[in-house]
Structure 1
């Protein structure tokens, strides 16, 4: 997931409150840093997206975000 895909996924899932969540919500998966702080320190946008989804209880079927239509096959 690219940063632009992350931003699109956040906007699609959270709407107008997305920017507040990115800036204000502490993510335990990143030591209490916010999504913005985690991204700024070099964390992968995909990992930050998953952490944000987990912390806000986004259903699994919507965690792939707008940037990716389906999960990556391994």
Structure 2
């Protein structure tokens, strides 16, 4: 997943206003007590950040990839 795709999914799944606020303000344990924006700035892969955000907010698998069913990605490596 590219950074551009991460932001497209944030906008599509959560809505542009709410999604961007979540990415800036929601601190996630899975990201080392960082926000999504901080984790991305620290160099974490966008795919891992996306999964952490979705896990924290209990986004079901069928909603994680927005409307494009071809936009599937494997779960993050752990």
Distance 1:48 1:21 in 2: 12
More helix by percentage: 1
Higher RCO structure, 1 or 2 (CA under 8 Å, sep 6+): 1
Deviation at 1:42, TM superposition (A): 0.1
**Of 61-70 and 38-47, the range deviating more from structure 2:** 61-70
Query: Any stretches of 5+ residues in structure 2 without a counterpart?
Result: none
Name the TM-score, length of structure 2 as normaliser: 0.82
Match of 1:57 in 2: 58
What per-residue deviation string (whole Å, max 9, x for no partner) do you get for residues 20-57 of structure 1? Answer: 10000011111110000000000000000000000111
More strand by percentage: 1
Name the TM-score, length of structure 1 as normaliser: 0.86
Say how many residue pairs are matched.
72
Match of 1:10 in 2: 10
Q: CA RMSD in A?
A: 1.8
Query: Any stretches of 5+ residues in structure 1 without a counterpart?
Result: none
